[in-house]
Structure 1
Amino acid sequence: MDFSNIACWIWPLIAGVICGILGYYLRKWTSKENEQQITVDTHDYKADLEDCKRKTASLQADLDACTRKTASLEADLASSESQLNLAKKAPLAATSTASIASSFAAGAATSETVIQNTNTSVPSPSIGIIGVPFDAAAAKGVYGKKRIKEDDLTIVEGIGPKISELFHNHDIKTWAALASTSVEKCQEVLNSGGKRFEIHRPGTWPMQAEMAALGKWAELKKWQDEHDYGKA
C-alpha cells in the first residue's frame, strides 16, 4: 500500500471536516447574535411605539381642550352680539316710552270699564287684575290658525316654553298673575334660570299679559306686530 498517496487525500479530508465543524458553530453563533440583536431592536421599536401612543393621546387631549375652549368663546361671542343688538335697539325703546305708557293707561281704563259693565267678569287669584272669561273663538279669530290656550304665557311676545316654565315654578301661571307681576319680579324669575335667560327684557310682559287677561286680542296682536320689545 502506498501511504504517501493516502496522506495526499486524508489531510484535506480532515481539514474539510474541521472547517465544516467550525463553520457550523460560527453560523450558529452568528445566528444567535442576530436573534439577540433583532430582539433588542424589536424591544426598542415597541418602546418607541408606546412613546408615540402616549404623545398622540396627549395631543388629542390638547385638541379636545382647544375644541371646548373654542365652543366657549363662540358662545361668549354670540352673547356679546346679542347684547350689542339690544344696545342698538335701546334708542328705539326710549322713543317709544310714551307709546308704551299710553298702552298701559288704555289697558287700565279698559279694565275699569270691564269691571263696571261686565257682570260675567271673574276675579283672578292674583291681586290687582280682574280677567274676563276666556273666549277661544275670539282669540282664534285674531291669531288665525294659531290655537290659543287659556292662560298660555307664551302668547306674550318674548316668552317661550322654557321661560313659561320658570314663571310656573314661581307660581305665576295665568295671564292675570303675570299682569300683576312687577317688571323687577319678572327679571328675578329670569335670573333664576341662569345666564341664558338674563338677556331677555320683560319690560312689556305684564302689559301684554293684561291685554290677554282682558280679552283684548286685536289690540294685543296689533301691538305685537308693531313692536319686538319682548324679544331678546
Structure 2
Amino acid sequence: MVQTIRIEAEARERAGKGAARATRRDGRVPAVIYGAKQEAVLLSLDPRDVMKEMHKGGWQSHLYEVALAGGATERCLMREVQFHPVKDTPVHVDFQRLAAGQMIRVKVPVVFLNEETAPGVKEGGVINIVRRDLEVLSDPDQVPDQFEIDLAAAVIGDSLRWSNVVDHKGTKPVIVGRDFVVATIAPPTVEEEIVVAAPVAAPDAKGKKGGKAAAPAAAAKKK
C-alpha cells in the first residue's frame, strides 16, 4: 500500500514571481496545490521537509497529507520539484490534489528476482534494463511499493515484458496496445584483440634492411 506522509505548510496570500522570491528570502519554499476542479492553493514549505522527501526516493509514488493553517488538510501527490541551477536547493513544489475515486498516474520501481541464479546470467549474459520504473494508473490507496520480475528461467536472448511482472496489483500500464519490454538478457560482449604489426625498416642502398635514409641537407651537399 502507498505510504502517506504528512507535511506541514503555511498559506501564501500572493502569487507571482515577486511573491515567490519574497517567500524564498524568508527561508521557505513556495508551493501550489492544484487539480480536482478546485481553486489552486498557494502555500510555502520548510525546505528541510522537501529535501527529506527527495533523499528518501520514490516520492512520486507517495501520498501527501498537506496540513494547512486552521487544521485543514489536502490529499495530494507531489508532482514536480524545481531546483536552483547552482545551489541545487528546492525553489518550487507542485502538488496535485486528489479527487474521490480518482485513479492516479505513478511510477513504480521494478525489482528483479533471482538475478544471480538466472541461467542467462550464469552463462555470461548481462541484464539490460530498459525501464527501471513502470508508469501505471493506480488506486491512490493501493499504489504498489514495487513490481517484481522473476529471472529464475531467463536465458540469453529473452525479453522480459509487462506480462512477466509477477503481480500487477490492480494497476493498468500507461503504455497500452503492446506488451512492452522491461529488460532483456543480452549476450556477453566479446572484445576483439587488435594485433599491431611492428614497422619494417626500408632497405638501404646496399639492399640491407635497417639502413637510415640520408637527411635532405646531407644529400644536397654531396651533389
Q: Give the TM-score of the pair, scaled to structure 1.
A: 0.22
Structure (1 or 2) with the greater strand fraction: 2
Greater Rg over alpha carbons, structure = 1
Give TM-score scaled by structure 2 length.
0.22
User: Which one has a larger percent helix, Structure 1 or Structure 2?
Assistant: 1
